[in-house]
């Protein structure tokens, strides 16, 4: 069992113990992910690169950011678990697609949209 599968199991057990399956349909989990991502973004809004670098040096602020990342990951794991998605395979497949869409010789150092490469 991969580490991702172990985490999916832990998340599933956590949620089942609280009888949360009834609240965890795809729509609700997607909404939860976006909500948590917005909470992560709040830490960086209106901050300069220097201010952000300082945040990561502050153990309390870094932990707050880690908590928000973990909340996002929790929703991703839960979504995958509830909808029979193999995250490792999905990620590998998406990387392969992106490699075709963004070939190194055109995309390296370039942040333009793929259709503008």
Can you give the CATH number for the domain in which 43 is found?
A: 1.10.287.1080
Q: Identify the residue whose tokens are 């976006």.
A: 34
Same domain, yes or no: 22 and 39: yes
Residue-wise pLDDT for 30-75, tens only, equals: 999 999 999 999 999 999 999 999 999 999 999 999 999 999 999 9
Q: What is the mean pLDDT of residues 11-34?
A: 98
Predicted confidence at residue 1, as pLDDT, reads 77
pLDDT (average), residues 12-16: 98
Angle between helices 3-17 and 87-101 (to 10 degrees): 130
DSSP for residue 57: H
For the chain, give the mean pLDDT. 94
Evaluate whether 59 touches 66 at the Cβ level (below 8 Å).
no
Read off the pTM. Answer: 0.89
The mean pLDDT of 104-108, rounded to a whole number, is 87
Find the domain containing 91 and state its range: 87-117
Provide the number of structural domains found in the chain: 2
In a shared domain, residues 33 and 81: yes
- Assess whether 40 and 56 both reside in one domain: yes
Q: How many CA atoms lie within 13 A of 114 on its CB side?
A: 8
């Amino acid at each position: 069992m991969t580490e991702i599968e172990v985490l999916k199991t832990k998340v599933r057990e956590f949620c089942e113990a609280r009888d949360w399956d009834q609240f965890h349909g795809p729509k609700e989990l997607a909404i939860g992910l976006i909500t948590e991502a917005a909470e992560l973004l709040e830490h960086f809004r209106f901050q300069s690169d220097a201010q952000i670098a300082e945040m990561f040096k502050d153990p309390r602020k870094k932990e707050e950011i880690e908590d928000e990342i973990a909340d996002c990951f929790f929703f991703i794991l839960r979504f995958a678990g509830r909808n029979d998605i193999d995250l490792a395979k999905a990620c590998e497949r998406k990387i392969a697609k992106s490699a075709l869409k963004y070939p190194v010789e055109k995309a390296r150092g370039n942040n333009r949209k793929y259709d503008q490469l």
